[in-house]
Structure 1
Amino acid sequence: MVPALAAALAAELLRRVDEERRLMRQARTASGPRWHPALARCREDGAEALATVVHRYGWPAADLVGLPASTAALMILLHAPCLDFQLKCRDLIADAAADGRCPALHHAYIADHCAVELGRPQYYGTRVDPATLRPYPVRRPRTLDERRRDVGLGPLDEQLRRLRAGG
């Protein structure tokens, strides 16, 4: 890919994530649900744009668009409304992580997201139920922290303590 095109893709992915964050802040501070349709539309538009990128160029891994933009692509994917698209990208991200083109952490997040959405136990414990602040069911919990360490995550207990403390 031409460097100028890669830079333009990176800028667009980052712009879309910034827009979603802005709408999320507004939704949190606004009274009533008036911002929710705008946020849903933003997520749908972001997913559609990401799908176009994936169709044309494959997963926008860090070696193609840089780590910040690849992480932005993951954020767009995690909020995308189509599980089939998420599953397709999960496999592309797994390949990119195995080849060292993006962090294994990216695969951990999308793998857990898809597992929870499919009603299956997650593997890395990255998804937490917002109502209980407890992780959704985890596969083989005795070896969870070892798997988390392998992808660059700290122990689950530390993550949960920070989450419950508000950070």
Structure 2
Amino acid sequence: MSLRELAREVGVSPGAPSHHFKGRQALLDALALEGYARLTTALTGALDQADDSLTDRLTALAHAYVTFATANAALLDLMYGHQHESTASGELTAATQRLTALGTQLIERGQRRGEVRAGPVDRLAVPLTAALHGLTALALSGALSPEETEDGLNETVAVLLRGYAP
């Protein structure tokens, strides 16, 4: 989609988007940053509502991630895409790190509480990220129905909890 097409779609003058964005890529980067902010807010909100236990916090984080991701598939694809211009990479890297920090903080907290085995937090976070992103990909591809996605999410959390156990 070009900026001109976007302007027509939202009902503004053809030149209006160019007052805010240098080009199509700058718009896509801004959308990706907004997606990271929205996802981070959704996950933080879910964690804020959860009890202190690793089980409750991991379940809340996992459900919030999959819910957001399946409801915003195109945005998620844009966020994780590698088509961003180099001038935005610093901002996108920081946004990705803020999002990733939620998982590592969950694991660190679990380690402090004796609920997660010892080990490098960044390495322990990889299965969490891979499992949630993989389950989301299966759901978005149509390989899993909504019911299967929910059941699969519950099983994924159970497997992660067993794997993280001391």
Question: Could you say which structure has the greater relative contact order, defined with CA pairs below 8 angstroms and 6 or more residues apart?
Answer: 2
TM-score category, normalised to shorter length? 0.3 to 0.5
Structure 2 length as normaliser, TM-score?
A: 0.35
Structure 1 length as normaliser, TM-score?
A: 0.35
Q: Which has the larger radius of gyration?
A: 2
